[in-house]
Amino acid sequence: SAVISQKPSRDICQRGTSLTIQCQVDSQVTMMFWYRQQPGQSLTLIATANQGSEATYESGFVIDKFPISRPNLTFSTLTVSNMSPEDSSIYLCSVTRTGGVGYTFGSGTRLTVV
Amino acid sequence: QQQVKQSPQSLIVQKGGISIINCAYENTAFDYFPWYQQFPGKGPALLIAIRPDVSEKKEGRFTISFNKSAKQFSLHIMDSQPGDSATYFCAASLKGNTPLVFGKGTRLSVIA
């Protein structure tokens, strides 16, 4: 299965600022997804990162708040913009490939907004 | 609307016992049903998965039982060990590499 490097692993940010999270995969993948996991909760899909086009966002998530890029088949970024304490969560990148084995997750970015 | 309902929320099992976690789904178009294990500070790791054309799949101490007519699937952990203490998530997806939909998770504690 694919190996994902997600950076940073954790950060503490001031409210009103932005943080960009990177997801680098060791091989080309078909699909890349971004999830949010609030403390003690399950995973909620933020968006599907589409290569070469705008991401597809789930209800409750908007591009202005969570801009996503996917310039190629191995890399994506998620930006959390104009942060507030409610954005404190773990953000996870997930990938899958056609014919591959399941969906792989990165180790996550633990974000604390103060 | 929660598409995958998971129970129980938490589970305490004696070492050597059987841990059973259940999930029910609503969308009959779901085509892939994985279970993930997550330790604190780590991302979810795929444990075992099944497709709806199979009623049971076993990998080591882990077994998925799948009941298509009841729209339910469960994870059985045989001979549970303290190292199995983690949060377990069931999930489901449609065909074609669509994103996973997760249950709310079960926190398993295996005590000696």
Q: How far apart are CA A94 and CA B93, in angstroms?
A: 13
pLDDT at B14 over 80: yes
Chain A positions in Cβ-Cβ contact with residue B36 (cut-off 8 Å): 105
Q: Which residue of B has its CA nearest to A111?
A: B41
Could you tell me the two tokens for A37?
Answer: 């996991």
All domains of chain A in start order, with CATH: 4-113 (2.60.40.10)
CATH number at residue B77: 2.60.40.10
Structural domain that includes position B34: 4-111
The whole-angstrom separation of Cα B86 and Cα A29 is: 28
Which one-letter amino acid corresponds to residue A109?
T
Contact residues on chain B for A108, CB-CB shorter than 8 A: 42-43
Q: Which of B42, B98, B100 to mutate to test the interface with A (most CBs of A within 10 A)?
A: B100
Domain count, chain B: 1
Structure tokens, B18: 């059987």
Report the residue of chain A nearest B91, measured CA to CA.
Answer: A43
- The pLDDT assigned to A56 comes to 96
Residue B50 has pLDDT above 90, yes or no: yes
Rounded distance, CA A74 to CA B46, Å? 20
pLDDT per position as a tens digit, A18-31:
999 999 999 999 99
Residue B46 has its nearest CB partner, among A97, A102, A107, at A102
pLDDT at B29 over 90: yes
Q: What is the pLDDT of residue A55?
A: 95
| pLDDT mean over B86-91 | 98
